[in-house]
Structure 1
Amino acid sequence: MSVSSRVSALAASVALLTGFTGPAAFAASPSTAAPSAPSSAAPTVNLATNPGFELPSPNLADWGSIPGWTCTGGPAEAAVTTTAPHSGTSTLTVTPANADSTGECAQTVSVQPNTTYTASAWVRGSFVYLGATGTGKDVSPAWTETTGGNWQKLTTRFTTGPNARSIRLYVHGWYQQGPFSVDDVHVDGPAPAPATAAGSIPTSDKVVFFTVDDGWSRPADAETFLADHHLPITTFPLPMPAAADPSYFKRVTAVPGSSVQDHSVSHSDLTKLPLDQQQVEICDARDSLTRLFGTAPVVFRPPFFASNADTLQAAANCGIRTVLTADADFSWGASNIWHPGLLQPGDVILMHWSDTITADFQRALAAADAAGLKPAGLTDYLR
């Protein structure tokens, strides 16, 4: 679309929307569909990740990334600044780099079906928009023609459809309208139930689950072994090594039942972080792996097996259903089963991508055979 066409589209939008009465900030009308009443046990909370742009980037995060957010122009356009924030010490400032950019920044927010949410943000600039996609129903964005150099609140409400599990929350400007700022973003709705903590998977089937963490070492012989033995695995790579060689992780998870799941951004002990920073670690890893592999993780492996109540809630806020440890370790030549006797149905076996991983697979497979068990796909057994 040419710049003149975009300007015409903007003018048409203004002409349409300014026909409505009301304040300068236009908000979408709530859906007429009756939402499900939230449970009394689910208080209303802000589900947005890093809503005030105050949180530091985790170690190993992409350079220039903004925790919790993905901006189309990257660090060339979007930055956290300390210039006149609405509250706190920081704000997001976006300067579209050229006439083809609106400077959009967005994040994925986990939601519940048939539930009403209120999204809001304080903005400063001309033609700034706030909206959501993936709700299952059409939602018009909230927007303002100009804030007159001051901060102005945009608000919109939406009710999710029966199949909605996540929405994409976005803010953006308009072509050739200059920089804009955003602060104090909210997606207010019922808090999801905490994720389930598990070290094994309850089942009477004669199966075990092979899980492999990290991803810094990626031996070719391990890939061959998995293919030759038709062995399903669940791998929990960190985003940085996963992004360094995504094709490797696609190949080693090619056996049906295999999957790529979440292991945080920085491999830190999350129990030393508050809930909002844990949410950044889990959600940003989820987003990175989803972009690389096309499927959002639903399982989280806490680094060092360290988790607390905040971890379970942060994981749930990121759409994670299960926070998984293990009850056997076959990493780096070990053969440790953390309960008496042989492996048992539903056991989760921990391994790591390393130069010993092929031998570790062989040893774990032999231990499973000795117990009369077969490796199976983990996500096939999660409810």
Structure 2
Amino acid sequence: MRPAPAPPADKPIKLSRKGPAKVFSAVPTKEKIVFITIDDGAEKDPKFVEMARELRVPFSMFLMDDAVRTNYGYFKPLQALGNHIQNHTLNHPVMRSLGPEGQKRQICGDQSILERQYATKPFLFRPPYGAYNLATQEAAAACGIHGIALWHESMQIHDMQYDDPAKKLHPGDIVLAHFRGPKELKGSTMTQMFAAMLKKIHKQGFAVARLEDYVRPPA
């Protein structure tokens, strides 16, 4: 794949400590770039680590503790490649079904574990199923997270689902994928799914950029 252009010095998404966390599903840009995000963490395929090392395609990992706790170490080589670790709750509830304190427990609990395991402080949150409300935004902010990242496309097994009825990517779109294996992918592997996603992105003339290079955390 062609490399992404250098990110702008003035990051287009600016997060603030004031008020609820900012919600976004794309990055304002005219460049033909998209951003890959990978959720959960249940599948821990060593061949995907090899693939990531070889291709050096950036992605963001939104990790959920119930999925990653069996092997926290798996994600450290991926992090060492420059791929950021972000927050995705303790055990993947529908956030809107929880009260404010329940939402805070989910986000702050995962935040504490991710900080301890990966020596990093996530500044983005992804609500499971994309379901959130104002209490989610306020809970994220209370846990030190001021951005909520949604998506416009999601990668399934070999096909991509689009918000756009024309089934096209748009500059700045966020693409959702998951750490999944043959059981969830009907026999396909994580590496096969990722390769199919890259092929679809490349075919439409897009490059893959690092989401965190376009988001400015609060000072």
Same fold (TM over 0.5): yes
CA distance in 1, matches of 2:190, 2:156: 7
- The aligned runs of 1:167-316 (5 Å cut-off) are 192-256=18-82, 258-316=83-141
Q: What's the TM-score once normalised by structure 1's chain length?
A: 0.48
Q: Which residue of 1 aligns with 2:203?
A: 370
Q: Which has the larger radius of gyration?
A: 1
CA distance in 1, matches of 2:177, 2:91: 18
CA distance in 2, matches of 1:233, 1:197: 19
Q: Which residue of 2 aligns with 1:33?
A: none
* CA drift at 1:229: 0.6
- The aligned runs of 1:37-186 (5 Å cut-off) are none
Deviations 1:110-155 (CA, angstroms, capped at 9, x unpaired): xx6xxxxxxxxxxxxxxxxxxxxxxxxxxxxxxxxxxxxxxxxxxx
Counterpart amino acid of residue 151 in structure 2: A
* CA drift at 1:263: 0.3
CA distance in 2, matches of 1:260, 1:361: 18
Partner secondary structure for residue 304 of structure 1 = helix
- In the TM superposition, structure 1's runs of 4+ consecutive aligned residues that sit over 6 Å from their partners are none
* CA drift at 1:291: 0.3
* CA drift at 1:353: 0.7
Identical counterparts, % of pairs: 30
CA distance in 2, matches of 1:207, 1:237: 23
Counterpart amino acid of residue 213 in structure 2: D
Q: RMSD of aligned C-alpha atoms?
A: 1.7
Higher normalized helix content (fraction of residues): 2
CA distance in 2, matches of 1:253, 1:204: 28
Structure 1 position 361 matched with structure 2 position 199? no
Q: Which residue of 2 aligns with 1:324?
A: 149
* CA drift at 1:250: 1.1
* CA drift at 1:292: 0.5
Partner secondary structure for residue 329 of structure 1 = strand
Partner secondary structure for residue 244 of structure 1 = coil
Higher normalized strand content (fraction of residues): 1
Partner secondary structure for residue 88 of structure 2 = coil
* CA drift at 1:244: 2.3
Structure 1 position 350 matched with structure 2 position 176? yes
Q: 1:367 to 1:333 in 2, by over 3 A?
A: closer
Partner secondary structure for residue 295 of structure 1 = coil
Listed as ranges, the gaps of 5+ residues in structure 2 are 1-16, 182-188
* CA drift at 1:215: 1.0
CA distance in 2, matches of 1:322, 1:364: 25
* CA drift at 1:341: 4.1
Q: Which residue of 2 aligns with 1:166?
A: none
CA distance in 2, matches of 1:374, 1:253: 20
CA distance in 1, matches of 2:36, 2:200: 12
* CA drift at 1:201: 1.6
Counterpart amino acid of residue 272 in structure 1: S
Partner secondary structure for residue 326 of structure 1 = coil
Contact 1:305 1:325 in 2 (8 A): yes
Q: Which residue of 1 aligns with 2:4?
A: none
Counterpart amino acid of residue 152 in structure 2: D
* CA drift at 1:267: 0.3
Q: Which residue of 2 aligns with 1:55?
A: none
Partner secondary structure for residue 80 of structure 2 = coil
* CA drift at 1:241: 3.2
Contact 2:161 2:167 in 1 (8 A): no
Contact 2:27 2:173 in 1 (8 A): yes
* CA drift at 1:240: 3.1
Deviations 1:239-278 (CA, angstroms, capped at 9, x unpaired): 233332222111123323x101000011000101111110
Q: Which residue of 1 aligns with 2:11?
A: none
Contact 1:234 1:253 in 2 (8 A): no
